[in-house]
Structure 1
Amino acid sequence: MQRLILCLLASFACLASAAERKPNFIFILADDLGWGDLGCYGHPHIKTPNLDRLAKEGTLFTQFYVNASVCSPSRCAFFTGQYPARHQIHGHYATPEQNTARGMSQFLDPKVPNAAALLKPAGYATAHIGKWHLGSNSGGPEPGAYGFDFVGSGEKGGAGILADDPFYRAKSTELFVNEALKFVETNKDKPFYLQLWTLVPHATLNPTPEQLKPYARFRAGGPNFPHASAAEIFYSSVTDLDAHIGRLLDGLEKLGLAKDTLILFSSDNGPEDIHIGNAGHSGIGSAGPFRGRKRSLYEGGIRVPGIIRWPGKVPAGKIDDTSVVAGVDWLPTVCHFAGVKLPATHRPDGEVMADVFQGQARARTTPLLWEWRFRIAGEPFHHSPQLAIREGDWKLYLNPDRSRIELYDIKRDLTQLNNLAEKQPDLVARLSEKALAWSKELPPGPRDPGAGLMNAPVPGQPKAAANPNAGKGKKKAQ
C-alpha cells in the first residue's frame, strides 16, 4: 500500500510539473523581407518549404503589422510593447552625430521593461542571436545589458562589423541557427525565450555559388553568364534563410520541444526600394499587392509576414484574414502566456492577443498609429505622409500641418489608389484628431523638411510641393 501511495504521489507530481511547464518562445525576425516574399504568401518563384510548413502547422496572418517602416524602431516595438517614438527611436540607429541631428536617442534605455528582462526573473533562460540594432553603430550597451543570458551575435550597438564581411553575410543565418540550436539544447529542461534576428535579406547580399544554383534560370545572360542577376541573388538568399529555419524546427522536434514552444516568424519592415544605393538586388523583394516599401507608411512598408505555431494551442492550417496584429502586441501577449505581470509603470501600446493566437479572430480594440519624420528616397509613388492611423478597415494619412490628407478603405482598396477623404469628412476629422493628439504626446524633435512630400526637395532648392493627386487613382503603381 505504501508503495502504491508513493507511485500515485510521483505520478501526480509529474502531471503537476507538466501542467505547470511554461511555454518556450522563439521569435524569428527577418530583415527587409516583404509581405509577398514567401511561398505561403503567394510568391511565384521563391521556394520556402520550411516556412510554408510552419504556416501549415500554425496560423498565418494576412494583416500583421510592424510599428515602423525601418529596422531600429520596429525592433523596439516588438521588444518593449511600446511605440518606438516614445523612446526617441524614429529611424535606424546610425552614428552618434547622425542620431543627435535627427533628434534620436543613442540607444534604447536598458532600464525600459522588455521581453528578456521581464521573463528572466520568472525562470526563463534568455538569448538574443543575430542582428541587434537598438543602439548606435559605434557604441551603446550590448544586448546582455537588457536581460539576456546568452548573446550570439558578435554585436554591440548596430549591425556589427561581422555583418559587413562578405563571407559572414552569406553564412550568417547558418551560424546564427547553430548558436540557437546550442542554446535550445542547453536549456531544454527549463523554459526559454530566444530572439533569432537574421541579417537577410537585407542588402548587401552575397550568396555562395551553391546557394545560387536553384535559381540559375533567372540569370539574365543565361546559366553560364558570370554575373548573378538580382532575382537570383535575392531569391537564393531567402531560400537559404528558409533552409536554416527548417534546421531549427527539426532540432525542436528531436528534443521533444515543439509542442512546448510558441514560434513567431515575421520581418522588421517591408522590402527595400530598388533605387536605394547598394540595394539593387534587395529591391526586388515583394510587397504583395500593396503600395509602399521600406520607409513608407503605406501598407507595403509596414504590413509584413506574420506566422505563429504552437502545436495544440494555435490552430493548424488557419489563415486569419480578420485579426489585425502588430509588433507592439508581442510583449504583452508573451507575458500573458508566461504568467508574468507587467510593471504598473510600463504601459504597453499593444494588446494581449492570446485569444487571437488561439484561433478567436477579432477586431482590435485600439487603433494603430505610425510616424515617419524623414524624407523618403526612391520611387515617389511610395512616399507617404508623416502620420498614419488605422482604425477598423480605415487608414488615414496626414502631415502634422494637416496637409496631404488621404483616407483609404484598406479592406476594399489594397493598392491604396482610391482616396476617400473628400467623401468622408466626419471620419477624416475624427481620425485626424486622434493621430495629431498622439503625435503631440511624443517627445519633440526635428523633422526633415522633405518629410511627408511625394517629391522631397533637393538641398539648396525651394521646398517641393505635395502632389495634390496623391492617392486619387491618377497614378498607377510602377
Structure 2
Amino acid sequence: MKRLCILALGIVALTAAAASRPPNLVFILTDNQGAWTLGCYGNPEIRTPNIDRLAAEGIRFTHALSSNPVCSPTRATFLTGLLPSQHGVHSFLDPKFMMGPEAYNTLQEFTSLGEVLQKAGYTCGLSGKWHLGANMTPSEGFTTWTTKPDGSTQEFYDQKVIENGQLRVEHGYTTDFWTRKGVEFIAANKDRPFFLYLAYNGPYSLGRLMLNKAQNRHADYYADKPLHSFPRDAMHPWQHDNKSFHNTDAARRRMASEVSGVDDGVGEIMAALAANGLDDNTLVVYTSDQGWMGGQNGMWGMGDHFRPIGAHELMMQIPLIFRQPGTIPAAQTCDALISNYDFMPSVLSQLGLGDRMPKQPPSPGRDFSPALRGKPLADWDNTVFYEMESTRAIRTARWKYVARFPSGPYELYDMQTDPHERFNQYGQPGTEELKSELSKQLDSFFSRYAAPKYDIWKGGGSKAKRHAP
C-alpha cells in the first residue's frame, strides 16, 4: 500500500510539473490515408480503437482536406503553411534529392514549424518519414532525427532507416520502430517542452506490397474479411496506376492491417504520455498527408495515379483530430472546410505562439483554433483550394470546380446533391455564371499567393519532377 501511495504521489508530481510549462506537441502524420478508413469516421470494419478514443476525447474535423494529393508537397504545406506554388514542391521528390551529392533541404528558404518551436524553447524530434530532402542531416529545428532514406515504401520489414546519422537495416516492423523511437523521445524530454513529429510511412496503400500479405499482428484477423467498406466498381477510365489493386481482396486486407498497425502505435504513444505525467499538457494531433481512394468511383489511389491528375474529394479528405484534456472539450466535431495550409497558424495559436507565425511569404492559412476550444468559427470563409502541377480546384460549401491548365478537362460538381462526384455539370446549361464566378475566385486566390518562380500556370517551375502535362 505504501509503495502504491508513493507511486501515485510521483505521478501527481510529474503532472504538476508538466502543467507549469508550455504545452508539448505530438504531431502524428500518416501516409496515404483517407479519413473513411477510420472507425471514428464511420468505417465499421477496420479496427482503430486508439484513434477513435482520440476523437472521443477531443475534436474531429469532418471536412478537412489536403491542398495536394501527394506526400512531399503536403508535408511541406503542414510544416510551412504554404501552398505548393509557394514552397515549390509540387509533387513527390526524386530520391536523388534525399541522398547523395544532389541532396538538399527543400524547406531551407522558409521558416517552418520546427524552427518556430525551437526558437520558442522546444526540443524537436522527428521519427518517421521526411521526404523533403537531405534526409541524412537534421534540419528545420529538429535535433533528434530518425527517418527513412527515401520516400516510397517497398515493404514494412527489413527496411533501411537513418539513425544517429547512419544508414542501417531495421529488421523489425517499421511502424513499431517509429513508435518506439517516439516513446523514447517522450521519455528523454519529459522535463522540457517538446515537439514530436511522428511521421508514419504507413498505412501507405501503394506499390507491389499491396498484394503481399501483412505480417503484423492484425493480418490473421483480416485474412478472411470481405471488407465491404472498400467499394466494388468498374475501373475509372482515368485510372493510370494501381490497376492491379482494383477489386482485390489482398489489397483491401493489406490496407486494413496497416491501418490497424498504425492504431497500435497511437495507443503506445498515448500510454507513454500518461506514464510520464504529460497527458493533460500535450496537444496531440492525428492526421494524414493526403486522402486516398480504395475503390470508390472505381478509383484506387490519389491524384497523381490518374490522367488527367485527379481532384476527387476522397483524394483530398484527411482525418484531422486534436486532443488535449482540460483545454479541448471532448466529443466535439467541426464541419467547417479546413485545409492543411490552415494547420500551422492554428497549432501555433493553440500553443500560445500565434504571433510567431512567419509573415513572409504570406500564408493563406487561417486560424481555426477557436473551434478546438469549443467556440464557433466566426466569419469563417468556407472555401478551400487545391493544386497539383497544372491541376487546380476550388471547393466551397456546395460546389467544386476543377480546372486544368491550359485547356482542361474541367469539372463542376454540386457537392450537396452529388457528394460522390458522379455527374460533371461543367458545360451544362445554366451553369455558366457559376462556373465564371468559381473560376474568378480560383484565379484570384493563386494570383494573390503563388510565387512567380513556382507558379506552373504562369510558366514557373517545380522542385520536383513533373508527372503530368
Q: Which TM-score band (shorter chain)?
A: 0.7 to 0.9
Larger Rg: 1
Q: Corresponding residue for 1:223?
A: none
**Match 1:372 to one of 375, 388, 392:** 388
Question: Per the alignment, in what secondary structure is the counterpart of residue 142 of structure 2?
Answer: coil
Give runs of aligned pairs for residues 323-362 of structure 1, distance below 5 A. 323-340=336-353, 341-362=356-377
- The amino acid that maps onto 1:75 is R
Instruction: Select the residue among 429, 432, 447 that pairs with 2:436.
Output: 429
Amino acid at match of 2:323: R
The aligned residue for residue 458 of structure 1 is none
Aligned to 1:314: 328
- Once the two structures are superposed, what CA deviation does each residue of 1:404-455 show, in whole Å capped at 9, x if it has no partner? 332223244211123344433223212212323445534213897964xxxx
Residue of structure 2 equivalent to 1:69? 69
Amino acid aligned to 1:294: M
5+ long unaligned stretches in structure 2: 1-13, 160-168, 228-247, 304-309, 455-459
CA distance in structure 1 between the aligned counterparts of 2:171 and 2:311, rounded to whole angstroms? 28
**Taking structure 1 as reference, are residues 407 and 228 closer, same or farther at Cα in structure 2, changes over 3 Å only?**
closer
- Equivalent position of 1:33 in the other structure: 33
Q: Which moved more, 1:14-23 or 1:45-54?
A: 14-23
Aligned counterparts, 1:42-191, within 5 A:
42-96=42-96, 107-135=105-133, 140=134, 142=136, 144-153=138-147, 155-156=148-149, 158=151, 165=158, 168=170, 171-191=173-193
The answer to whether residue 302 in structure 2 is matched with residue 294 in structure 1 is yes
**Which deviates the most, 68-77 or 209-218?**
209-218
Once residues 390 and 169 of structure 1 are traced to their aligned partners in structure 2, the CA distance between those partners, rounded to angstroms, is: 44
Shift of 1:171: 0.9
CA distance in 1, matches of 2:298, 2:117: 36
Q: Provide the C-alpha distance between the structure 1 equivalents of 2:58 and 2:85, rounded to a whole number of angstroms.
A: 32
Post-superposition CA distance 1:239-286 (Å, at most 9, x none): 1111121111111112221111111111112226xxxxxxxxxxxx47
Change in CA separation of 1:197 and 1:171 when aligned onto 2, cut-off 3 Å: same
Structure-2 change in CA distance of 1:22 and 1:346 (3 Å): farther
Using the alignment, how far apart are the partners of 1:350 and 1:403 within structure 2? 28
- Residue 138 of structure 2 aligns to a residue whose secondary structure is helix
Give the TM-score normalised by the residue count of structure 2.
0.75
Instruction: Indicate the larger mover: 356-365 or 123-132.
Output: 356-365
Q: Residue in 2 aligned with 1:24? A: 24
Q: Which moved more, 1:328-337 or 1:396-405?
A: 396-405
Q: How does 1:206-355 map to 2 (within 5 A)?
A: 207-208=214-215, 210-218=217-225, 229-271=250-292, 285=294, 293-295=301-303, 296-320=310-334, 322-340=335-353, 341-355=356-370
Checking the alignment, whether the CA contact within 8 Å between 2:386 and 2:393 is kept in structure 1 is yes
How many aligned residue pairs are there? Answer: 396
Provide the rounded CA distance (Å) in 1 between the counterparts of 2:446 and 2:357: 25
Change (3 A) 1:91 1:149: same
In 1, Cα distance between equivalents of 2:422 and 2:223? 36
Q: Is the Cα–Cα contact under 8 Å of residues 61 and 307 in structure 1 kept in the other structure?
A: yes
Sort the Cα spacing of 1:436 and 1:311 in 2 relative to 1 into closer, same or farther, 3 A: same
Call closer, same or farther: CA 1:146–1:329 in 2, change over 3 Å.
same
Percent identity reads 28
1:297: how far off?
A: 1.4
Q: Check the 8 A contact 1:54/1:308 in 2, yes or no.
A: yes
**Cα pair distance change 1:240/1:450, threshold 3 Å:** closer
Distance 1:89 1:164, change over 3 A: farther
Cα distance in 1 for partners of 2:424, 2:183 equals 49
- Offset of residue 337 of structure 1: 2.5
The letter of the residue matching 1:403 is G
d(CA) in 2 for partners of 1:170, 1:200: 14
User: Displacement, 1:400?
Assistant: 2.5
1:56-114 alpha-carbon deviations (Å, 9 max, x no partner): 1111111011111010001111010010221221110014499xxxxxx9642323111
| Deviation of 1:216 (Å) | 2.6
Change (3 A) 1:234 1:97: closer
Structure 1 length as normaliser, TM-score? 0.74
Alpha-carbon offset, residue 303 of structure 1? 0.7
Residue 290 and residue 298 in structure 1: after superposition, are their counterparts in 2 closer, same or farther (change >3 A)?
farther
Tell me the CA shift for residue 54 of structure 1.
0.9
**Is residue 415 of structure 1 aligned with residue 420 of structure 2?**
yes
The higher relative CO (CA closer than 8 Å, separation ≥ 6) is in: 2
Q: What SS does the corresponding residue of 2:380 show, helix, strand or coil? A: coil
Specify the alignment match of 1:465 in structure 2.
none
